[in-house]
Amino acid sequence: MKLLTVSNFYPPQHVSGYAMLCFDVVEALRARGHEVTVLTSTLGYETETVDEHVHRLLKLESPLDYYRPVSGLCSPIANRRNLQHLRRLAEVNRPDIAFVWGMWNLSKRLAEEAERLMGPRVVYYLANPWPIEPNQHRAYWSLPARRPWLNKVKAACRCAVRCLLHSEWRPVPLRFEHAPCCSGALRDQLLAAGVPLKDAPTIYEGIDVESYARHSAVRRMPASDEALSVVYVGLLVPHKGVHTAVEALSRLPPESLERVRLTILGSGHPDYESHLRELVRTKALSSHVTFLDPIPRAQLPNFLARHHVLVMPSVWEEPLALIMQEALASGLALVGSATGGTKEVIRDGENGLLFGPQDADLLARHIQRLAADPQLCRQLGEQGQATARARFALRRMVDDIEAYLVSVRAHSQPV
């Protein structure tokens, strides 16, 4: 089977779990003998690059950290070039299926063109709500400026920009004929928002469960005089809610706080990173909170094995976080906000603990409880590991996706 995979990001640029998952599935399908070509963005590369089967040619709508108005001025040219790359690869490779992954920060016109070229032979794997998110241009010009004095300037330019980029305000009527979702929660969210999902089974994401489980064998629960090691791993952006974890530590009674250490592993938006560091300073938590830069993914199993609890304080409806699966497979006690796919997987008090988004008080009570009860920490970890083995094996995910793609090819006539 010949596949043309389209994704906004692709490793080694570890922007999101969605991109890492795309890489895992592509490599697994290639190992099974399928011919897979990847079309992705130039993120992390100075120029357009083609390396074996990976074509890093697409221009993003905007830089990741801050929107640049010049990006809007350049978007018509960038979009035309992106479409040309897609058409050329479709013409040269003649794929059986166009396999669309993350599209945030790419124009949805690219997916529309894939549907025009391939008809019903387009398959989406949806693992975040990009179909209902505004493009970067609309998002920027619809929001107030970060500095009040710029609001008048922005308002004065808004009408002119809308005239210049009128097509960016026009809805893109994607058909989504074949769109497996990473969780039932994401599928229901998209359907409720009016996305016309026609064939949208749930195919849970997958990881190398046994690799994480093997490393977890070295973990030792803390003794009565030792600290509970709590960790957050992921992007440092507001919707991930890392501030809630810091707030929770500040609400622990002094005797409990002395027995807790929080490690924050990740990077993200500079403004939010600064906010978190300032929050740690003002709450007098500097001796309890450590910030670490991202590490290579291959080091993650060993890193997680050195901790006891993973906190996942997402504010948004997290579809199905990859780090949740990795934490479960590692045997960590998972404490997560009851949003999206997290509440679909975690049974409170059985294989993890749940709290409401931004409920720092309940999160603090959960952390305090785990610090005082290592046996509960161990039990939650063991049940979480059983959940990971039952639901999140990468081989199972690839089997399901491969069977789905074969079925679509068999039942869809070329246009």
pLDDT per residue as tens digits for the range 311-360: 999 999 999 999 999 999 999 999 999 999 999 999 999 999 999 999 99
Higher pLDDT residue, 225 or 63? 63
Categorize the per-residue pLDDT at 224 as very low, low, confident or very high, splitting at 50, 70 and 90: low
Domain 209-391, CATH: 3.40.50.2000
**For position 413, what pLDDT does the model report?**
66
Q: Decide: 275 and 247 in contact? Cβ < 8 Å.
A: no
Span 94-123, average pLDDT = 96
Q: What secondary structure does DSSP assign to 113-127, as a single string?
A: HHHHHHGGGEEE-BS
Is 196 exposed, middle or buried, given 0-12, 13-18 or 19+ CB atoms closer than 10 A?
A: middle
User: Which residue ranges make up each domain of the chain?
Assistant: 2-206+394-411, 209-391
What is the rounded distance in angstroms from the CA atom of residue 369 to the CA atom of residue 357?
19
The label of the residue with tokens 């978007």 reads: 75
CATH topology of domain 2-206+394-411: Rossmann fold (3.40.50)
Task: Give the three-state DSSP class for 408.
Answer: helix
Q: Which residues pair with 37 in a beta bridge?
A: 4
* Predicted confidence (pLDDT) at residue 83 exceeds the cutoff of 80: yes
